[in-house]
Amino acid sequence: MKLMSWFSKTMKRRSVSRKGNRHSRIACSPGTENRGTSNNLINMATQTCKEKAKEKIFYSYTNSINGFAAVLEEEEASALAKHPDVISVFLNKARKLHTTHSWGFLGLEKDGVVPPSSLWKKARYGEDVIIGNLDTGVWPESKSFSDEGLGPVPSKWRGICQNATKEGVPCNSIVGDSALYCKSLLLVMCMDSNLRVFIPVKNVISVLKLRLVLYISRSHRDKLSSQSSGLALHSPIWHANLHLLPYYLVSYGCRKTRKLIGARYFNKGYGSIGGHLNSSFQTARDIEGHGTHTLSTAAGNFVPGANVFGNGKGTAKGGSPRARVAAYKVCWPAVGVNEGGCYEADILAGFDVAISDGVDVLSVSLGGAIDEYSDDAIAIGSFHAFKKGITVVASAGNSGPGPGSVSNVAPWLITVGASTLDRAFTIYVALGNRKHLKGVSLSQKSLPARKFYPLISGARAKASNQSEEDANLCKPGTLDSKKVKGKILVCLRGVNPRVEKGHVALLAGAVGMILANDEESGNGILADAHVLPAAHIISTDGQAVFSYLNSTKDPWAYITNVRTELGTKPAPFMASFSSRGPNILEESILKPDITAPGVSVIAAFTLATGPTDTAYDKRRIPFNTESGTSMSCPHVSGIVGLLKSLHPDWSPAAIRSAIMTTATTRDNNGDPIMDSSNTRATPFAYGAGHVQPNRAADPGLVYDLTVNDFLNYLCSRGYTAKDLKLFTDKPYTCPKSFSLTDFNYPSISAINLNDTITVTRRVKNVGSPGKYYIHVREPTGVLVSVAPTTLEFKKLGEEKTFKVTFKLAPKWKLKDYTFGILTWSDGKHFVRSPLVTSTYAPQKARLVDLFVESHFDLLGSLLDRKEQVEDQMICTKSFNGFAAFLSEARMAALKSKDHHVLSFLFMSNSLFSCVSYFPALDSLQKKANFGENTILSLQGASVATKTCSDDVKSASQITRWRITQPGRS
C-alpha cells in the first residue's frame, strides 16, 4: 500500500491510500429520478460485466443523495467522470476528528439553579428534538444516555440500532412505544481456570444497579435475583473468592433506552483502504471515546456527581439534555497499514441515512483539507440536510493559529471555533527561588505535601547518544534514567503528545513533570490526565523555569495538588489550536461563524480505553476532559437543539443567524476577547463572537437564506446546471446576474476594496413590532454608510432590505484586513454583524502574503530566532512550501506540525546534454511559427546573455511574463 501526499493551498494534508493504482472513489449522479442507474453507470464506464460492477460498489446512496462509492482503477474513474450522467467523481479521502460547568458559563444556569429566563426552561431542555452525531460511535451504558424522565420516542423517528454482533448497541427503535428494547445475551465470567459462571440475561425489566466492580458470592445470589426482575443465574457451584465482573459487561443487557434511539455504523470506505474488517468493526460501539464525549456534550442527560479523578465535580449534562440522540459511527481507529480516520464514503453514507432517519440536528466534529464543495462529502451531505430543514454544525479544525487554516467552510453549515471557559484545574509549581507558577493539570497522583524534589531539564537528563533538543522534548528513549530518578523533570511542549512526555518521564524514574509551553503555544495550556504528578505552564513561566535551572547548580521544585477553580479571568480567550480564517475557498464568506467552549470540557467517555487513549493507560473513567473544536462544536449543536424546540418553524439559516447576531466579542472582564498569545483576537478567530444561548432565543431580526439562495451562490462560483444536480433533485437555472455582495449572510465582507463596494442585506422580524436604528463601528481606514438608517417592522415575519456602502477613507491605504461591527437595535435587541474589509487586489496575492508569513511562523518556531527564516527559500506561487537548513531534530519537529505534508532531503542531480539533429522537425517548426509566444523554461545551469541564440530583434513582446531577476553586476 502506498501513501500519496501533495501540497494544497490550505497548507494541509490530503492523503490517498492506494494499492497499485486502485482508489476508492465517490461518484454522484443527477437527481433522484435516476437512483436506480448507479450500477449501470459504473458498468458502462468500466466495461465489465454487471456482476463485477456490483462487486466494485460498496455504497449506494439512495435516500437523500444519489450516488455510489466504489473501488476503481485510475482509467475507470477517468472514464466514469466523462459519462454524461455523472456529475462528480472524487477520492475517498480520510478526514480527522478535529461538561459540568460550561453551560453555567454560557448562562443557562447559575450555581446549579436554572432561572426562568433560561433557554433551557423556555425550550423544555430540547425535549423531543433528535440530535445525530457523525463520529466514533457511542458508549451506550454511560449514564449520560439514561432515558430517565423521557416519554415515548417521537413518531417521526425512522432509525434503528444496528446490532450485528454481541458488541452491538442496545437502544429503543420502537417508535411511539415506551416498551423496552430487550436483547438476550450470554454473559460469561471466568471464576478460575476450570470453572465458569454462565449468566443468561433475558427480558430484564431494569438494568442492575451494580457498582463499577461487583463481588459475586453465595451470599449475594438471592439479592441479585430479587433486584434483577428476571435475571436468572445458572451455576452448579458458587465460590466466595470469585474474580471481578466489570460493570459494563453486565449492562449490555436490556435497559430502557428512549434516550439513545439510534446507532449505526459505516465502515466500507474505511475497509476499502485497509482490506477485510473482522467482527469487531461491525458495531457502533465507541472504543475511542471521542463520539461518546461529543454526543453527551450536545445532549447528555443530567448525571449528578460527575468528575474526573475528583476534579470538576458537579452535574454533567448536555446542551439539550431532554433531546433524543442517535450515533452514526463513521470514524475508525488506526489498525495495521490503515491509518484510520473518517473516510468520505462513510461520512456521506452517514449523512444519507441520518437525513432519512429523521434527525433535527447533525453534529459533525471532524474535517480535513479544504476542497471545492463538489469534492467534499461534508459539504454535499450538509446541503442535502439543509434542504430537509436539518441544521448541521461542524468543527472549524485544530490547525490554528495559522491564517487560512479553517475547514468546513460551506455557507449552509455552522462552523465553530474553540475558546476557553472560566474554569481551570489549577496546580502550582513552587521553585527553590521562591517563585510560584500557576499551571493546569488533571493528574490523578500527587506529591507529598510541600516536599521539594531536585529539578532537572530534559536536556540535562539526556542519554549519551541523544541530542539535547530531543531530550528537552522528552521523546521516548532520549533520557538517562540515572539522571532522572527521584527528580521533577522539565519537558518542553511540542512534537510528541503531551501525555506521552509524562509517561516517558515516569519510565525514567521521575516523580513529577513540569510541561512548559514553547513560544508558539503561548498561553494555551491544557489539563491532561497525566500518569504522574504534572503541571502544564505557559510559555513565559516556562522561560522562568529554564532561567532558574541555568542560574543554580542545585535547583529544587515542588508541585501542589490539583484543585478546581471557578470564575477565572479573562474568559473566554481563543484556544491556540482553533483554526483561523480567512476562508480561502471564498473570502467573502467569513468563517468560522462562532466560537464556543472547547478547552478542558468534561463529558461522558468510553470504558474501552483510558483517559489518555494510550495502550499503557489502564485506568477507566466514565467522564473525561477533552479539548478541541470537536468539543466546541457539540456545544453549539446542543444550543441549536434548544432553538429548534423553541422555534420549530425557523430554518437552519435563521437559527445560525440568531446564534451569530447575538454573540459577544467581550470576555468576563468586559474587554475584547484575546488570543492565547495575548493579542486581540479578530473575527478570523471567533467569527461573530462567543455564543450566548439565552440571547439567541430572542434575536429580534434574522438574516434568512433559502435553498435557492445557496444554489445562486454556487452559480456565482461557476457551477453549471449539471453541477447543481449534485445538490438538488430538481433542474435549476442560474440567474443571469448574481453578486456575492447580495448573498444574505449574517456577516458582511468587502474584499478587494479599492474604491467603493455596496452590499445588500435582508432581515426578517422574528420578534415584536418595533423600529430598529443603525450603529456602525467602522473598520480602520474605511468609511461605512447604511441606507436606510432605520427599519420599522409592524408584524411578525415582515422583511426589510438595506444597503451598506464601503469606501476607503481619503489618502488611506489598507495593509491588512480590518474589522468592524454593524448593529441594528430597537433598544431591546442588538443584532450585530461582523464587518471584514481588505484592499488587496487579487486573491492569490493576498494569500501568498499569508502563506509566507505562516512559513515564517512555522519555521521560526523551530529556529532560535524568527529572523533566521528570512534567508530560507519560500515557495508560494504555484505550490506552497519552503526549503531550509534543518537538523534532524528540527526536521522531526517540523513533521509533527499539523500543516506539514511532505519533507525530503535535497539531492544533487546531474546535467544531461546532447547534440541532436532531427530533419522531420523542420516542417513542424514552420507550421508552429517556430514556437512564437511560447515560454520555454530552462532549469539547470545559468544562461549567458551575449549569445546569438537570444537575439530578440525579431521577437514580439509577451505581456503575460511577470518578472526577470536582474542579478548582480
Q: Which of 827, 752, 833, 828 is nearest to 786 (CA)?
A: 833
Residue 628 DSSP label: S
Q: Write the CB contacts of 872 (distance below 8 Å, at least 6 apart in sequence).
A: 855, 859, 882, 883, 884, 885
E strand or H helix that includes residue 536: strand 534-537
Give the distance, in angstroms, between the CA of residue 931 and the centroid of all CA atoms in the same chain: 50
User: By the 8 A CB rule, do 834 and 761 touch?
Assistant: no
Q: Which is the catalytic residue, given 135, 346, 470, 613?
A: 135
SS3 780: coil
630 is catalytic: yes
Are 134 and 363 within 8 A, CB to CB? Answer: yes
802 within 8 A of 787, measured Cβ to Cβ:
yes
Show Cβ contacts of residue 440 under 8 Å, excluding neighbours closer than 6 positions.
Answer: 424, 425, 426, 427, 525, 526, 527, 535, 536, 600
CA distance 288 to 292: 8
Write down the residue that cell numbers 464543495 correspond to: 373
| Strand, helix or coil for residue 740 | helix
C-alpha cell at 704: 434568512
- Amino acid letter at 827? G
Report the largest interatomic distance among the alpha carbons of the chain, rounded to a whole angstrom.
107
Rounded to a whole number of angstroms, the CA Rg of the chain reads 30
Catalytic residue among 395, 443, 630, 747: 630
Q: Which grid coordinates belong to 530?
A: 497525566
Dihedral angle over CA of 519, 522, 526, 528, nearest 10: 20
Classify residue 729 by its DSSP letter.
S
Other beta carbons within 10 angstroms of residue 50's beta carbon come to 11
Distance separating alpha carbons of residues 110 and 120, to the nearest angstrom: 12
What sign for the dihedral angle of Cα 317, 573, 366, 638? positive
**Other Cβ atoms within 10 Å of 635 Cβ, number:** 31
| Active site (annotated) includes residue 135 | yes
290 is catalytic: yes
Determine contact, residues 269/24, Cβ cutoff 8 Å: yes
Alpha helices in 677-731 (DSSP H): 683-686, 693-696, 707-716, 721-724
Task: Report the phi/psi class of residue 472: left, alpha or beta, with left for phi > 0 and alpha for psi in -120 to 50.
Answer: alpha
- Phi first, then psi: give them for residue 45, nearest 5 degrees: -70, -40
Residues making up the chain, counted from first to last: 969
**Helix (H) / strand (E) containing 303:** strand 303-308
How far apart are alpha carbons 365 and 920 in whole angstroms?
A: 61
DSSP secondary structure string, 830-880? EEEEEEEE---SSHHHHHHHHHHHHHHHHHHTTSS-GGGGGGSEEE-SSS-
Distance CA 270, CA 212 (A): 34
| Active-site entry in 23, 98, 101, 290 | 290
| Cβ pair 894, 397 in contact under 8 A | no
Beta pairing partners, 525: none
Instruction: Say how far apart CA 59 and CA 80 lie, in whole Å.
Output: 16
CA 439 vs. chain centroid, Å, equals: 26
* 8 A C-beta contact, residue 218 and residue 252: no
Q: Yes or no: say if 299 and 320 are a contact pair by the CB < 8 Å rule.
A: yes
The cell numbers describing 430, all together, are: 513552587
Q: Using CB atoms within 10 A of its CB, is residue 566 exposed (0-12), middle (13-18) or buried (19+)?
A: middle
Residues recognised as catalytic: 135, 290, 630
